[in-house]
Amino acid sequence: MKIRILVISIVLLLLVLGGYSWYQNQKSQKFACETDSDCIMSYSDPEDFQICVNSVYYEKQENKTQIYQCIIDKSLSCSCQKNVCVRSDRKKGCK
């Protein structure tokens, strides 16, 4: 009985660690880039508004409905700096 509980505990621990690792990988891919063309401005990101993200990540978003939380600043652009998508003013969200 003790061995069974130990095995179940180990399996649950591995599942939790695997899930956390997957989450961190997805989050890092959200902003990963190699060139400026890899980055796109997202107005529908669930965590923030008017943020630069990886274009492949953006295409995989299920709900790309633009939710305008503030006035869109068309003067902002996205670029790839040190393999991370960043906004031209280096900030996130509304100006």
Residue 93 lies in a domain: no
Residue 60 lies in a domain: yes
Closest CA to 44 of 20, 9, 72: 72
Range of the domain at 30: 2-87
**Residue 18's pLDDT band (cuts 50, 70, 90):** low
Residue 94 lies in a domain: no
Secondary structure of residue 41 in the 3-state scheme: strand
CA distance 23 to 25: 5
The secondary structure of residue 38, as a DSSP letter, is G
Number of domains in the chain: 1
The secondary structure of residue 81, as a DSSP letter, is E
pLDDT digits (tens, 9 = 90+) for 34-79: 999 999 988 876 667 888 999 888 877 766 666 666 788 889 999 9
Partners of residue 41 on adjacent β-strands: 52
Secondary structure of residue 53 in the 3-state scheme: strand
Quote the pLDDT of residue 94: 76
Residue 63 lies in a domain: yes
